Amino acid sequence: MGGDARNMKVGFAQFEPVFGDIGRNIEKAEQLLGGTEAELVVLPELFNTGYVFTSREEAVALSESIPGGKTTAALSRIAREKGIHIVAGLAERAGDNIYNSAVLVSPAGHQGTYRKTHLFNEETIWFTSGDRGFQVYDIGNCRIGIMICFDWFFPESARILALKGADVICHCANLVLPFCQDGMATRCLENHVFAVTANRTGTEKQGGRNCLFTGRSQVMGPDADVLYRAGSDTEEVGVVDIDVLAARDKKLNRYNDLFKDRQSGLYGDLLKPFAGGQ
């Protein structure tokens, strides 16, 4: 199984961003990362701005260009000073579009940007759906893929990342539904990959109601083992030592290999529109 071990420390920082206070939220992330020994750390979706925008103007005002904006610059500085890789969610301004994006930064600076593909609920008002698909990055010790929150609900997201060779799925999140943390067991199991879900805590007002974020960030292993799970309302950093090579072995048993057993010739219908309905 899998050959020699290749150990690596991966984790997340979970906290409650203050809506609209980018400086404070970057400071908070830096403070949490300051005491962390890890090679790869994932921060939540929209970690620098908070989640509940109330107008397009507000979303425009809080968005930044990537890599030119101050948040990517701050993350790159932190990555350089600490010698780590960081994946973090932020609102990206590109021309007339605002994307719900995540950056990968390394000690050498900005390495890539993912734009959320599957927008959730009112995000569809402020953001444009991602137009770049799912990319995998080789960060030396391992290959990582990035997805953002609601992307998990679409099995294609994690599948494509795994087929492109991701060992670890970095999953920036602002989860409001209760299903994801357990649901990720299926994503990990069917693809035999690690996943780091970095969620936030706290509440933000949405219209007349409170939008409650569910915390419980986690690192999950390829056998759907919960390697670390945070509390539902704690400020917390979770780091786990993983053997990256465990994700390279897709054999389930002597006769089944998760990827070699795929019957791709029969999957063409996946690309056709929904034929059901009322």
Q: Annotated catalytic residue: which of 142, 149, 170, 180?
A: 149
Q: Identify whether 82 is a catalytic site residue.
A: no
Minimum separation from the CB atom of position 251 to ligand ACM (A): 33
Residue among 117, 141, 174, 199 that touches ligand ACM (CB under 6 A): 174
How much of the chain is helix, strand and coil, in % rounded to 5? 25, 30, 45
Alpha helical stretches, state H, the chain? 22-34, 56-62, 70-82, 123-126, 155-163, 180-191
Which range binds ligand ACM by CB under 6 A, 158-166, 171-179, 203-211, 251-259? 171-179
DSSP secondary structure, 190-242, as one string: HHT-EEEEE---SEEEETTEEEE-----EEE-TTS-EEEE--SS--EEEEEEE
Which range binds ligand ACM by CB under 6 A, 26-34, 86-94, 132-140, 170-178? 170-178
Q: Identify whether 45 is a catalytic site residue.
A: yes
149 binds ligand ACM (CB under 6 A): yes
Residue among 8, 10, 29, 45 that touches ligand ACM (CB under 6 A): 45
213 binds ligand ACM (CB under 6 A): no
Minimum separation from the CB atom of position 186 to ligand ACM (A): 17
Cis peptide bond prior to 67, omega within 30° of 0: yes
Q: How many residues bind ligand ACM (CB under 6 A)?
A: 7
Q: Annotated catalytic residue: which of 45, 92, 123, 236?
A: 45
The phi and psi torsions of 207 (rounded to 5 degrees) equal: 60, -130
Query: Which x/- pattern over 76-115 shows residues binding ligand ACM (rule: CB under 6 A)?
Result: ----------------------------------------
Q: Which is nearer to ligand ACM, 31 or 186 (CB)?
A: 186
Strands 85-94 and 97-106: antiparallel
Q: Which is nearer to ligand ACM, 149 or 227 (CB)?
A: 149
Which range binds ligand ACM by CB under 6 A, 78-86, 169-177, 188-196, 218-226? 169-177
Residue among 114, 126, 134, 150 that touches ligand ACM (CB under 6 A): 150
Question: Quick check: 120 and 173 in contact, CB under 8 A?
Answer: no
Q: What residues contact 206, with CB distance under 8 A and at least 6 apart?
A: 52, 122
Q: Annotated catalytic residue: which of 28, 116, 123, 142?
A: 116
Q: Identify whether 142 is a catalytic site residue.
A: no
In this structure, what token pair is assigned to residue 215?
Answer: 């915390």
CA-based radius of gyration for the chain: 18
**165-191 burial, b for 16+ CB within 10 Å, e for fewer?**
ebbbbbbbbbbbeeebbeebbebbbeb
SS3 assignment, position 27? helix
Minimum separation from the CB atom of position 175 to ligand ACM (A): 6
Contact positions toward ligand ACM, by CB under 6 A?
Answer: 45, 120, 149-150, 174-176
Q: Which residues are catalytic?
A: 45, 116, 149
